[in-house]
Structure 1
Amino acid sequence: EDLDCQAQTIGGFNDTIMLSQPTLSLEVDDPLTTNNTAKLVTDQVRWTLGDSSIQYEFLSGDIFNPIRSGGMTIDQLWLVDSYGRHFTVIDPDAGQADLVTSSRMTPPDNVDYQFLLAPRFAQNARLNFHWLAADAPSEIEMTTKPARNPVCGWIVPNNLDSTLSIYDQQGKTLGSLDRAGNWRPAPGGFGIPDVASISNPHLRKLVDYLLNQGQSFQQQFLSTLDNSLATIDPEGFALHSTLALLIGRPMAVVRATFSLEVKGLPVCDPTVKIESADQEVPTYGYTEVKVPIRLGDYQQLNDGLVGYWRETPVGTDGDYDYEGNIFYAPQSNLANDSLIQTEAEGLVYFEQTVDAPPQGVTMLIDPRGTIHATCGFLPNRELTLPSENYTTALQSMEVNFLATPMLCDRQTDMTIDIHDGEQLDPPAFDASSGLAIPVPQQANAVWSWVSLSGDEWSETTDIEGVNPTATFSEPQQLYEGWLQLSRAQEE
């Protein structure tokens, strides 16, 4: 159905409730002065006032209200053209007219006004939401494509072993947290011996936190991660079919900060005369009003937030602690642990004021998704991790599964020696007598067997399929080691 309509913006309402009205004015200048100091003062005044062609005059009254909220009714409305001809759209003598409103501006049925005005700042304001550089304590990346990589490291849940695999920024395996809450260096001699050896301070703080929470917390933490990841299905899933995605859902450890900011100085009541430098500016405390901010949006499948920790500053060197040691997982089911808070226990949100310093968070995210910050007062903000910050790391990840003991035919001369982090030339062996282990085939991936004998690590990619017929034609031997899945090398 066709509908003839005309749209027109209505301006000046916010200015009016701040007791100001735009008006034309002459440019700020003093053309007759020759004093350099006077010229400097004039230039400073001009810069402070901004656009010299439009200034604001103060209005009288007691309606100063920097935060507007309530209802509105249109009593009279005319349309006037450039020739002065007018048409009455709403006539007060004809009764209240029927108006069409958007869903957000439609009031309840039991009120006597026509429009619902949701809470908003009358002064121009914005919600800041920015990445923090991974290699700096508090350096904010102000652009949508950060100059520095905000990824501090990676965590991959291993549901088979009930462990958490830890990777550095480049996707190199460092070690894992076992189900008992202990640190296990990565097999093959390429891991690190302890958590203190993790180079990135933010990843080191997170791993140290997980180690100190105990075995019960880790089991609930793994379950919470699974529940959250089940609600995330980013739009870019098909674009990044890397090895790590075939094994699990790698989560990036990133940091971000958000704050509320008004344009310029906070607006104040112009009807109050300031008579001394010590007199408080009459803002009536509106910059201290707590505004709720929610991270993540479970109603959007492409929202990549798994969970986060709130950061509390400690000292002056950019250090911080996790507030209350609580992990917030808005998209997960109820967890049986006081240190894990979900939406099932109530709304999970921040309270931020204009005067408050920026709030930092450490987040676990699906790198392919978008992180949403929702504020009822201001438009939502989004953060997306550029693909160049995670594609190479996902392709480089190797996943290890503890397989012990493994009963196989006894083999000799079937290993590739690894010593001091360097792979030596493999000794010759009969390819027809490789290790027989039932492993699934993965496209563009290679299975290998990693084991430790004394102080020497060994690795072999010569893995055969198993014989389904029960037979002991050759002597058997128990092996202890790890099955490792890595990306196949391109020729």
Structure 2
Amino acid sequence: INDPSWKFTFAPTTPQITTYEFPIELGNLARLEDGLIGYFTKGHYGTFNAVTQSGARGDGYLKPIGEGGNFIRMPFDGNTSTLVSMLVDPRAVVHATTGILPVTTVGLPPEFVDDALAAMDVTFRVNGILTDQTIRASGDTTMLIPVPKEKTGTWAWLEKDGDNWKSYKTASTDTTARLSDVPPVLRRGFLRLSSAMDDDGNGG
């Protein structure tokens, strides 16, 4: 909006507000749908700007957003831009708060992330667990170990055998007392969850 003063009627001047730099705060953990963890600016990766509510303390590399005026500052001239590399939950949005404009959100379209997330396996280190097992005549071994109850996904046990990693199926144990002819084994390895985000919902 130009200055409406009479002296500028025939010679409009550029509004001074376009030269002011306003602080922009990215992320807000108080909003449950916000997925920002932190960001780098202008291609400089020596400082990670972390959301303040995360409890991170500044140590030279971590720099909480907002502390000491640590915000992205830009003029609203329609031309200035800043490169920001964000670490976010791909299923959530990031909020941008300026204090003079409505809060704006940006997020990744589901079609760009759903297939990638569905193809990912998640592993959890287990550093020593006493397991029972069943061994079929074919030699296939199934680990009888407790696993988290997930609505979707398939759990498997990963264990290093020499230079290779072997994968075993898992099955739940029960409370029935029995004398097994297979001795329990103390194992160290990983629990792997696969297909936890299948569209069909069966973890197939």
Q: Please, what TM-score do these two structures have when normalized by structure 1?
A: 0.34
The residue that corresponds to 1:20 in the other structure is: 8
Pick from 356, 360, 375: which aligns with 2:83? 360
Give the counterpart letter for 2:185 in structure 1. Q
| Deviation per residue, 1:267-307 (Å, 9 max, x gap) | xxxxxxxxxxxxxxxxxxx4xx4332222245543333222
Aligned mates of 2:105, 2:148 — CA distance in 1: 39
Q: Which has a greater percent of helix? A: 1
Paired residue type of 1:452: K
Q: Which residue of 2 aligns with 1:340?
A: 62
Q: Distance in 1 between matches of 2:51 and 2:147?
A: 34
Aligned pair partner of 1:331 in 48, 53, 58 = 53
Aligned with residue 308 of structure 1, among 31, 39, 57: 39
Matched residue SS, 2:2:
helix
Asked if structure 2 preserves the Cα contact closer than 8 Å seen for 1:408 and 1:477, the reply is: yes
Task: Provide, for residues 379-419 of structure 1, a one-character-per-residue CA deviation record: whole Å limited to 9, x for no partner.
Answer: 5543122111222222222111122333334765x7xxxxx
Match of 2:72 among 312, 335, 350: 350
Consecutive unaligned residues of structure 1, counting only runs of 5 or more, are: 1-12, 22-56, 68-119, 122-285, 312-319, 415-426
In 1, distance between residues paired with 2:32 and 2:172? 40
- Report the counterpart of residue 440 of structure 1 in structure 2: 148
Alignment of 1:144-155 (within 5 A): none
**CA deviation map 1:296-321 (0-9, x unaligned):** 2455433332221223xxxxxxxx33
Alignment of 1:332-411 (within 5 A): 332-335=54-57, 337-342=59-64, 345-353=67-75, 354=77, 358-376=81-99, 380-409=103-132
Q: 2:164 aligns with which of 442, 447, 456?
A: 456
C-alpha distance 376-347 of structure 1, shift in aligned 2 (>3 A):
same
The 2-side partners of 1:18 and 1:392 are apart by: 60
Q: Deviations over 1:154-194 (max 9, x none)?
A: xxxxxxxxxxxxxxxxxxxxxxxxxxxxxxxxxxxxxxxxx
TM-score normalised by length of structure 2: 0.73
What SS is found at the alignment partner of 1:479? strand
Instruction: Tell me which structure has the larger Cα radius of gyration.
Output: 1
Deviation at 1:14, TM superposition (A): 3.0
The alignment-based identity, stated in percent, is 29
CA distance in 1: counterparts of 2:145 and 2:186, whole angstroms: 12
- How many residues of Structure 1 are paired with residues of Structure 2 in the alignment? 197
- Whether the 8 Å CA contact 2:134–2:182 is kept in 1: the answer is no
Contact 2:38 2:86 (8 Å CA) reproduced: yes
Post-superposition offset of 1:470: 9.3
Distance 1:345 1:466 in 2: 53
2:53 aligned counterpart, secondary structure: coil
Spell out, residue by residue over 1:192-248, the C-alpha distance to the aligned partner (whole angstroms, 9 max, x if none): xxxxxxxxxxxxxxxxxxxxxxxxxxxxxxxxxxxxxxxxxxxxxxxxxxxxxxxxx
User: Does the C-alpha gap of structure 1 residues 300 and 428 become closer, same or farther in structure 2, counting only changes over 3 Å?
Assistant: same
Partner of 2:15: 66
Q: Does the CA contact (< 8 Å) of 2:29 and 2:51 recur in 1?
A: no
User: Partner residue of 2:198?
Assistant: none
8 Å CA contact 1:405, 1:478 repeated in 2: yes
Partner SS, residue 325 of structure 1: strand
How many Å separate the matches in 2 of 1:446 and 1:308?
33
* Change in 2 beyond 3 A, CA 1:441/1:489: closer
Q: Which runs of 5+ in 2 are unaligned?
A: 196-201
2:154, 2:194 within 8 Å by CA — same for their partners in 1? yes
Q: Secondary structure at the match of 2:117?
A: helix
Q: What secondary structure does 1:394 align onto? A: helix
Displacement of 1:437:
0.9
Instruction: Report the aligned-residue RMSD.
Output: 3.6
Higher strand share: 2
Q: CA deviation at 1:65?
A: 7.5
Name the CA distance, whole Å, in 1 between partners of 2:118 and 2:33: 21
Which letter maps to 1:479?
R
Q: Secondary structure at the match of 2:131?
A: strand
Q: Distance in 2 between matches of 1:434 and 1:369?
A: 37
